[in-house]
Every structure is written in structure tokens, then in C-alpha cells.
Amino acid sequence: MFKDTFSVLLIEDSNADYRLIQEYLGESQSPSFQISRSADFSAGLSLITNESPDLVMLDLSLPDRAGLEALSEIKRRFPQIPVIICSGAEDKEITVNALQIGAQDYVYKGKFDSYSLSRSLVFAYERNRLALELEKKNVFEQENEERYRLFFQYNPHPAFLFEHDSLKILEINRAVLEKYGYEEKDLIGKSILQIFELSDFDKVKQEIIFFQFGANQASSFVHKKKDGEKLIADTTVYKFRYQNQILDLAVVTDITEMVRNKESILATLAEKDALIQEIHHRVKNNMQIMISLLNLQADNAMSRNLTAKELYNLLKDTESRVFSMSLVHNELYKSNDLSHVDFHSYLNMLLENLWNLYGVGLKIKHLVEAQGLVLSMNIAISLGLIVCELVTNAIKHAFPDGYEGLLKIIARCELGSTIVTIEDNGKGIPKEMINKNHETLGLQLVNILTKQIQGKLHLEILDPGTKFEIRFPEQKGAVEKKL
């Protein structure tokens, strides 16, 4: 069982390094660490004698004793106390020599965080405790049992024990079976390369050769599960001698989700950039459309001697046209699909606005039937302006004061075409006025916009009422979804 609290003596002359290590170990709550410090080697020996700390962290560049000589002196005088070297120099030869002299671990300054440092101390203490017990008992079988308990039974991460030269797997823990889906017979006696992607084989061999006597190094590889699923794993290998044989212990941490989350974040940022550019493009195009509409309205107004009321009505018409365009974007950004508009919802909101502008006090009902129809943004803007013009004309002219009636808009897909009809049962358009009406600004816009979507406009005089039908190719942006 691990201890709840560890006493640690830090022999370190750097105040900055001392404060950093103190801060890191202070973040650990289970277990916790009680830290004392000596700035020189001589005082450190006295503290070891007086306090008998659980662990000693030793800097190899002390003012009164430098290098591995300080480590040798501590191990000679206090062989039962585990020592962890904490050095700023990444020298592989010194690391190997320190571990051979008896250091339990070798950590590089600036290369660890709170979690890895506390884990290193706990494992160093446990390894040392086991070594002392085994030395007292002098039972070799007990050593294997304790190592297995420490590195396999209680390790939540998959762990593989394998021969260094042949790469043959000797032992695996239960986490391997759970994570990879193999049975023991699938792996024991087989090469450790079996769990790696073929493209990583050379890299794996080079990394294993580089690992030295317990100085753990972590590298990321792509592993294969039994069912063929791939996972991205940080693989840390510990090397040690056992019965005159060099063995490697590989401990695996699955970082697949972390990597995918990172990729997802990067993809989201890319989508955001693309969306900003698309919004900029859409706003620019819509501003150009609005400018064109205002220019047409201005030209129309200049050719007529308008009263203030007529000018006010022209501005209301412009307001309704701008609203029909902005409503498309409102519908786009309410949904997850930023390229298509729910046309049924759009029509209902458009008619509600037109009724507020023109239909207050009128006894006219309206009906929309376009369930399941979605349109591309560009088609929706053009068709929305068409509907706006035709409905506005119907409200203004088809129903005199007190006239009760019904206005219907029906949109559907049929035989490769999308058909939108705007029909009312009002007083209708007199035949002699049809050509004249086609010369008005509103109907000029309707004709222009119908051509833009490669559509055809058909006018039918009813008894009573008027019916406009716009038919355009379905591939131009309309899709009927089944509800």
C-alpha cells in the first residue's frame, strides 16, 4: 500500500528550482509531501542523519560537492534511503551511471510537471521499499511477485514486459486485455511489434534501442487493437536487468481522445475562419442587391411627381424588401445548416411582417403550405423578394376596404421542378391592366428575379382572384425533405 504522506529532503542550491519543486509537490493531495531543503551538500548530510527523510532529491551541481560523487557518498552512508537525481543537464552517460550507482530515478529540470514528479517520487519510494524487503528476505521469487504486483496488477495502463533483443512478449497485465481486446495466448511469446502499425516498426526499434537503464522516455505511436481499430498511445519504456537478461517494460497511455479533440478544435477554428469569410461574402452580395433595389426605387420615384404619402409607401416597400433578405440570414443562423433555409418557416415569418406593414385592419386570411421544403440561400433570397412583391400587391390592390378574402402560398417539388404559387380570391386584375402592371417596379423586379433563378412566371386570372406560378429547376437549389 502507498503511504499517504512522504517526507522529502531537497538538496538544491537554486532558490528558483526549490520554489518550483515545492509548488509542484504542494499541488499533490494524495499522497502529500512534506519538504525540507538544504542549499549545500554538507548540511544535507546532517539533515538526512537527523530527519531520516523518506526520499532525497539531489542536484548534481552543488557548490561544495558536484557530480556523481555526492550521490555515491549518500548511498554509502544511507543505503536505505532512495535518491532521485534532479539535474538540468540531459547527459545520457551521467544518467546511466547515476542509475547504476543506485539512484532510483533521474528527472530533468524543466521536463516534468506536478503529476509526473509526484509519480516519480512515489514509484522511487516503492521500488526502494521493495528492494529493501527483498534484500532482507533474499528470496528471488518474491522479487518477481512484488514487481508484478507493482507494475502489472495495480497499473491501470496497459503494460508489456518483453525481451529487449528479440522483442518477444513475456507478460501483459489485465489492462492490455481490456484495452486491446486480445487474449493472453494472442500476445504471449509474440513480438511486441504486433500491436504497432507497420509504418511505425523502424521508429519503434530505434526508440527501444535508445532507452537506457530505467531513464524513462515517452514516444507516441499508432497501436492496433485485435478488431483492427487504431489508437494513438504514449509509450514509455523502462529497461532493467533480470537474471543476466535485459528486459523492457512498456507502459501505454491512450491519448486517442486527446489527439482527436485537438484535431477537432483545429478543424473548428478552420470552419470558423471559413464561415467568417462566407458571411463577409454574403453581406457584400446582399449590400449590392440592396443598392440595386434602392437605385431602381430612386429612378422610379424621379420619374413621377410623388406626394409625401406615396413617398412614404415607397419607403415601406423598400423596408419589406430588405426584411425579406435579412430574414433569410435569420433562418440560416437559427439552424445547423448555414447553406439552406427552411422555406415553410421563412414564408410564415415573411407574411407576418407584411401583414404588420400593410394588412392591419384588413379581413384577409393567409395560408402557407411548404412543409419539408428547403432552399439554398441564393434561391431563398430571390424567391423571397418575388413573394414579397406579389403578396404586397395582393394586400394593397386585391382586397378593397372591408373585403374578406384568402391569400395562399403553396410550394412543392414536382417532376424535377420546384413550383411556388401565390393565389388570392380578391377582385383580380382587369385584363386591360395586365400589361400596365407588368411595367411597374414591383413586377419588373419579379421578372428579373425569376430569370435569375432560371425560372418561368405564369399569370392566371381566376374568377375571382389572381394566381401567379413560379416554376424553376429543382437542381437550382430546392430540396424537398420528407417529414
> Which range (13-22, 272-281, 352-361, 446-455) has the least confidence?
272-281
Listed in sequence order, the residues at least 6 apart from 86 whose beta carbon sits closer than 8 Å to its beta carbon are: 10, 12, 17, 21, 57, 58, 59, 107, 109
Q: Partners of 421 in the beta sheet?
A: 410, 469
What domains are there in the chain, each with its CATH number? 1-138 (3.40.50.2300), 149-254 (3.30.450.20), 261-480 (3.30.565.10)
What whole-number distance in Å separates Cα of residue 354 and Cα of residue 345? 15
Pick 468 or 474 by higher pLDDT. Answer: 468
Across the range 143-150, mean pLDDT stands at 65
Share of the chain above pLDDT 90, in %: 16
For residue 156, whether the previous peptide bond is cis, meaning omega lies within 30 degrees of 0, is no
The DSSP secondary-structure symbol of 174 reads H
Across the range 340-347, mean pLDDT stands at 87
What whole-number distance in Å separates Cα of residue 189 and Cα of residue 168? 5
204-244 tens-digit pLDDT: 656 655 554 344 556 778 888 888 888 888 888 877 776 67
Residue 55's pLDDT band (boundaries 50, 70, 90)?
Answer: very high
Q: What is the residue-averaged pLDDT of the chain?
A: 80
- The two most distant CA atoms of the chain are separated, in Å, by 118
What whole-number distance in Å separates Cα of residue 215 and Cα of residue 22? 23
Predicted pLDDT of residue 214: 42
Predicted pLDDT of residue 215: 46
The amino acid that residue 73 corresponds to is E
Pick 479 or 187 by higher pLDDT. Answer: 187
Q: Where does residue 155 rank: exposed (0-12), middle (13-18), buried (19+ CB within 10 A)?
A: middle
Is pLDDT at 175 greater than 80 in this prediction? Answer: yes
**H helices present in 200-255, as ranges:** 201-210
Q: Confirm if 126 and 104 have CB atoms less than 8 A apart.
A: no
Share of the chain above pLDDT 70, in %: 76
Sign of torsion over alpha carbons 432, 435, 437, 439: negative
Give how far Cα 283 sits from Cα of 16, 290, 318, 325, 329, Å: 55, 10, 18, 10, 10
Across the range 267-273, mean pLDDT stands at 73
For residue 31, whether the previous peptide bond is cis, meaning omega lies within 30 degrees of 0, is yes
The amino acid that residue 185 corresponds to is K
Of the candidates 401, 382, 380, the one whose C-alpha atom is nearest the C-alpha of residue 445 is 382
Is pLDDT at 59 greater than 80 in this prediction? Answer: yes
Residue 410's pLDDT band (boundaries 50, 70, 90)?
Answer: very high
**H helices present in 338-376, as ranges:** 343-358
Whole-model pTM over 0.75? no
Across the range 400-421, mean pLDDT stands at 87
Residue 282's pLDDT band (boundaries 50, 70, 90)?
Answer: low
Q: What Rg value do the Cα atoms of the chain yield, rounded?
A: 40
Q: Confirm if 293 and 323 have CB atoms less than 8 A apart.
A: no
**Helix, strand or coil for residue 333?**
helix
Is pLDDT at 200 greater than 70 in this prediction? Answer: no
Predicted pLDDT of residue 458: 92
Predicted pLDDT of residue 213: 39
Pick 392 or 154 by higher pLDDT. Answer: 392
What whole-number distance in Å separates Cα of residue 220 and Cα of residue 411? 56
Is pLDDT at 262 greater than 80 in this prediction? Answer: yes
Predicted pLDDT of residue 457: 92
Is pLDDT at 284 greater than 90 in this prediction? Answer: no
Pick 328 or 376 by higher pLDDT. Answer: 376
Is pLDDT at 380 greater than 60 in this prediction? Answer: yes
How many Cβ atoms from other residues are within 10 Å of residue 345's Cβ?
Answer: 18
What whole-number distance in Å separates Cα of residue 55 and Cα of residue 117? 13
Residue 392's pLDDT band (boundaries 50, 70, 90)?
Answer: confident
Residue 34's pLDDT band (boundaries 50, 70, 90)?
Answer: very high
Residue 335's pLDDT band (boundaries 50, 70, 90)?
Answer: low
Of the candidates 110, 119, 100, the one whose C-alpha atom is nearest the C-alpha of residue 215 is 100
Predicted pLDDT of residue 145: 63
Q: Are strands 405-414 and 466-473 parallel, antiparallel or unpaired?
A: unpaired
Listed in sequence order, the residues at least 6 apart from 425 whose beta carbon sits closer than 8 Å to its beta carbon are: 405, 406, 462, 464, 465
Predicted pLDDT of residue 204: 63
Predicted pLDDT of residue 333: 60
Predicted pLDDT of residue 132: 81
Q: At what angle do helices 15-26 and 114-137 cross, to 10 degrees?
A: 80
The torsion angle over the Cα atoms of residues 85, 90, 93 and 94, rounded to 10 degrees, is -30
Q: Where does residue 479 rank: exposed (0-12), middle (13-18), buried (19+ CB within 10 A)?
A: middle
Pick 400 or 18 by higher pLDDT. Answer: 18
285-299 tens-digit pLDDT: 666 666 766 676 666
The three grid cell numbers given for residue 268, joined into one nine-digit string: 473548428
What whole-number distance in Å separates Cα of residue 197 and Cα of residue 116? 28
> Which range (251-255, 285-289, 321-325) has the least confidence?
285-289
Residue 482's pLDDT band (boundaries 50, 70, 90)?
Answer: very low
**H helices present in 68-221, as ranges:** 68-77, 92-101, 114-137, 140-148, 174-180, 184-187, 201-210
Is pLDDT at 397 greater than 90 in this prediction? Answer: no
Of the candidates 345, 349, 439, the one whose C-alpha atom is nearest the C-alpha of residue 391 is 349
